[in-house]
Structure 1
């Protein structure tokens, strides 16, 4: 009697593994060949977080001692050692709850980090007060939070880059097939393959309609999914069609989970909207109401307090930059230092959007002559090498320093720190009706545009980012966008 090779037998066991079924722990350990990698990932992330949190506590204590002229590093180090255990335990538990130790593809980003660290601060403050601690100042808590956000996010960014480079060097990519219809397959497929080192290798597609010409490889019919998974060793199946038939979707998910393959869905506009759907009881059919995405009541108060506080601090800290920029504009070209650009604001009501002048005085009169050189899509008007730009203005625009006077717009209640960017009147007149939903809230100095590719994105994609921001707004999201704006500005990604 012949005995099948061990490798082929193991492959057969793995290929028949149902990810929904429970298995004995010992067998699960043997069959899950990535167990060691999982432990290494969680252990390394826990270590990174511990070092970052300990560093944040130590930095806050050292800075406090220095400002009070009680500089004593050994004492600060001892206090940090005493404090770190509880803070780290709470942070690690909250990080785990937020999925921050999940596998690379499912691990969330800065928003969850900021939210979890803020919750850690609240828990530690409450614990300290319950323990009978008294504080003349709560600086140690919010100071540690500030440094923890910087250190943890920075350390995790480095971790992601280093481990990503190691995985790419090892040739690791998740193999995926896209299922859907023509235009959806093409859009999702090309988006996943953008960038020099995509994490997902799109093996091909399965179309529900006659084969589209999209530059990808057709792998067959949906009925052949089992064979396709086995033949191409797929890790993921991505559904890229908001109208995917329900019965086929249920069967597809069952087949994939039976073979240990992850199923993901590329979001549609309806899936984005459903995050703010509110159940309406008392109906024969379950109904969900999609409320208008406006900031009112407590949301508006929280956002306004956040805006005024942060804008005031930024004006104070950046006052030398503002002064130098104004002086350079005055010395190098004629015209006002600050340019008042009349733009539609909330509800389409116009306001004077303040900017440092970056162009020569007759720039507005020249725009009609330059329309044919427009390099942007949709309603936007952008020219990378705009001849109307002054030399100083080019530098200011490159690093977004020309936007700094808009901090005064924030204090005056005409703008928010984060929100949809206000468009010039010329661009506003070119908008389609569905674009104008972005004017339901105060415009912002920065937004998802600025941290998601900036001028490199298609205009419709930029508007969809505005919609995504409106549906999922939180103070943590605002703080995340502000933090991400800094590297976006300094890397000058798509800015002109």
Structure 2
């Protein structure tokens, strides 16, 4: 199996899509429709909205906002995404309502109506927004004439992104570049309008709304001289550092006491996102531990009766920021390796007990890690922690391996639900696992966590052949 190479990162955020009224309107449509349908049903049937429903509405809105871009897709793809997202949310809501007995407070007709009407109303609202989008974009003003300085990888990538921007009208006029056509490594479908020395003259003679400087940071003197020449223009000027075409983890621009800084590698769990993640971890772990407490007791008795040794296996692993933590598992082997060399379990491994084979196959051996989550050492979803010995081995072999420790390790993760669970007997498999872990860090959202948990439950039910 060939190693899957990560795609070149798009220059997200460099266009103004996130600030476009249409984009902001789309991001709030689905959460609002979901809440309004719920309120409408209660007003219609009970002439009031109970306080419990207000609380549920706030939770649901915070989970689903922003809802993501859908109106740029075909009608079928839009319907598929809305329904898939709604089924996932409804699954967790119904499970929680059933276990807490809140579901008994409302009639089956009310619940069924909400489950059916909500996705239909969301699809209708998105389709109306899609029909109205050309007019909304037109109201934003005339097309924005744009120039790019630097005919290179990030310049062409930026031009393509701006040209394909669904949420605003951008007219990419062309590039300014000092190199002769024979020296240009990149080929583009955009004209070269002149050299950098001719740029200020061009701006005086033409209407240009935005100018993007996509020169490499090694061109620092040229950039300073050009900026000095452009002090007389009214064109909005943006600098696109070439680091934005590298494989960034949570890349963004922020400030430190008014000084702009660029994030190259950062955790997604800062500020409110960190609070949301930790709150979800604590509530979900408490809920699961209470629900499965009889199962934990049965497994503990079974391990004690079927093989000698401790019930809980404690192993040192790397946690947040590469700090060592103790991770709990139900013992599934006759050995408890935690030294400088740890041998991964393989198919038909003689060290695995008969009960242990079942526990590993069904992931039941991982259940004590919900205690690790309550302790704050782990998260429900995140990169799986590896034994310290394996970390020390693979950090020397795989580029970016330790970046996965920018977040707490998880009981389950994006790599595991994509087929990279269990034995990693080749370097290629471990590279794939790390690739999915880093992809999780780049794209984290509460909805992604919910999807991973749902897929984990499904894979636990059907079984996973890679788990030994």
Q: Of the two structures, which has the highest relative contact order with CA contacts closer than 8 Å and spacing of 6 or more?
A: 2
Q: TM-score, normalised by structure 1?
A: 0.46
